């Protein structure tokens, strides 16, 4: 299943810099691992915001929830999820 996910990050200003850096390093490693596995298909930064649009390709809602809740920045995020279906006019065979 494909899901369009918007993630807005709100790191508290009073979070110690070294703690924030450690969380960000774990976040990057986790997200890159998911990208390499094909589960995190696309990620785009939203210009001028600490936010992104992403597309996930996972088995079901439960797997997506497990992935998102495993993000090191999860507790600092507002997340919106939209399930996607292949459009009948799509010419791309990999849009499943």
pTM, entire model: 0.90
Candidates 80, 75, 3; CA nearest to 34 is: 3
- Ordered by start, the domain boundaries in the chain are 2-84
Give me the percent of the chain exceeding a pLDDT of 70: 98
Mean pLDDT of the 45-71 span: 98
* Homologous superfamily of 2-84: Dimeric alpha+beta barrel (3.30.70.1060)
Pick the range with the lowest mean pLDDT from 1-5, 6-10, 91-95. Answer: 91-95
Buried b (16+ CB within 10 A) or exposed e, 70-84: ebbbeebbeeeeeee
| Residue 90: per-residue pLDDT | 87
């Amino acid at each position: 299943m494909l899901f369009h996910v918007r993630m807005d990050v709100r790191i508290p200003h009073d979070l110690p810099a070294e703690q924030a850096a450690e969380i960000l390093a774990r976040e990057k490693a986790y997200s890159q691992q998911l990208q390499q596995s094909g589960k995190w298909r696309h990620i785009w930064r939203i210009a001028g915001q600490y936010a992104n649009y992403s597309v996930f390709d996972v088995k079901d809602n439960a797997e997506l929830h497990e992935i998102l809740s495993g993000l090191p920045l999860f507790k600092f995020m507002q997340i919106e999820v939209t399930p996607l279906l292949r459009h009948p006019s799509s010419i791309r065979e990999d849009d499943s």
